[in-house]
Structure 1
Amino acid sequence: MALNHHRYIVASSVLVDMLGYGLIMPLLPFIVQTRGGNATIIGLLGSLYTLIQLLAAPLFGALSDRVGRRPVILDCLFGSALAYSWLALADSLPLLAAAIALGGVAGSSLPVAQAYIANVTSPTERTRGFGLLGAAFGLGLIGGAAIGGFLSQFGLALPPLIAATIALINAIYASIVLPESLSPKRCTASLPFRNLFGSALIALQASSVGPLLIAVMLLNITFAGLQSNIALYTLTRFGWGPDQNAILFVFVGLCAALTQGVLIGQLQSRLSDAWLASGGLGLMALAFAFVSGVHTGWLLFPLTALLAIGMGLAVPAITSSSHDRPVKTGKELCLAGCRH
């Protein structure tokens, strides 16, 4: 029972962290434009977030193998609070880029949280445990996008400040109630920053996890590309502002939450992880095939629903499969679980 309670604490931390993230993402193109940036800058900053997170996640995963999951999760949460505050105060593109880079570093809390869940759940419960994180992810996007869309009418600096406050409260709460999931004897003694890329290459070449890591990487690249540019896409094609984009993010978050909080739990007992992953990837491919040809705004809703449902099925199934393989260090779990 205690372990189940702990995973709900981790999920609540992910939920509040994503609440802050959901506040910012629909507004980022508009924030960049007020600093003199264009579409290219918006794309580069979105890529910067992803690149920094790609580099930071395995580092934090290795560090969590050495010092434990709890301190890494807490540092990421406090880092999110600092990043959102910086984003609100940044008055130039270089400062904005620095804030986004820090946000990418702090955003590595989700894969470490996945490693935490892997430590406190049995293999039979693991997919459901990752589904719980996915539901928290989706609900955070729902609440964050709704709040951000409402607050943006009072100024673009207010949503990041609210996000910083939420992240700080979340970090303080987690520091009080979140226990460590690794016993001292399970912590590794190796240096976390030694030969990082060599370790990543070894993991990619391993027959047990390499194909799964590549699948997750390609999946995240495709979804992150849409996620980072959807607000600019809707602004250019349909003239949507922060309010309309917030509605779309709320809808996507709701679909993701229902998929990973309800649907995957029902399907897991009937279908294997391989079938769930294949079906989810098929839905995403179908949606991507049609999204570029949309000329009416409301058609984005059924297509993004397919994307969210497909992502909600594929990610927990693939991630769960990677955790069931022999390689189970935090570094490799984080390589498999990068968010964007």
Structure 2
Amino acid sequence: MGKLQSKIRRRSDLYRATKGEALECGPVTQVIEYDPAHTDAINCVTTLNSDLCVSGGSDQAVVVYDWRAGKLAQAFHGHNREVTKVKCIPGGTRILSASRDKTVLMWDVNRGAEAVQEFCGHELVVNGLAISPDGLQVCTGSRDNSMCLWDIESGECLQRKTISRNLVTHVCWVPGTHSIVQTSEDKAIRVWDSRTWQVTNTFPAKQYIQTYCDVSASSNYLLSSSNGFGGQGCEATLWDLRQPGCKVVEYRGHLQTTACCVFLPPSPGAQPTVATSSHDGSVKIWDQNTAACLCTLTLDGSGPLVSLAPCDVDSLLCASFKTGMHVLNLAHGAQVELKEVARF
């Protein structure tokens, strides 16, 4: 597909900030609407560089979008089921996408619309996808209870291990190390050594399914998020990776499943923060150390908010089931404010 020129129109924003212990996030403002990136629910989003994001959707497409300019850059079609996860090889032009069709495909934005590599071997949906810090290997995890390690260039499966009831929900490679962290529907968090392909640590099982995980840039801390309903479960948890199984704080306040949790880039002079998104349609910003909720933004009519991608200190992308991709502005000051500024 060629570049699609966006038709920009303005309207009154529909969001509201929830009340309670969280600060209301700014007055009603206007939101720029660009042409949509997907024709169905968006399941995942990440960043390729400072201007381009990559998303995967239930429409089976992998889309590269210039989120600053509001223009479609490229779309890839090769999966025959919905796309579950997308990752980009650091500092390059290659993208990997996992799907319910049991495969992982690799694309290159400089090499046309066809996949340049395929990774086949899982027996069920692939929910976990992580790339090694050197960009040479990819780790995948599936509902078939297996974790696999692949050579990116050849597509060869280097390692495979199956653990009973380990229905993988997400995978993260710990920056600068040989360690991989994965969450599972069996409520456990496991740490793997990519050299031996053995589990080196298992965190204490939580009460509910663990849906997502993220690792801090320092490699010291891990975030995991929890399934739940009616305010039970629904939390995110900060763990100390230097003391496996050591729970630091919990972030509680969502009313439904917390689908995503991410560390936010540090703002000079500000306290470290994390963000969570939930099936209750809200995004929350938290003080990383105290677990105080600094701000809540609810996106009306969005349905579940399933994926977050920090772009820079001030910008955060949020993928939704019903209203596309939301561009959020994060203002740091005496009070933290979160506003929706665009959607596509």
Q: Greater share of helix residues, 1 or 2?
A: 1
Q: Greater share of strand residues, 1 or 2?
A: 2
TM-score (norm 2): 0.22
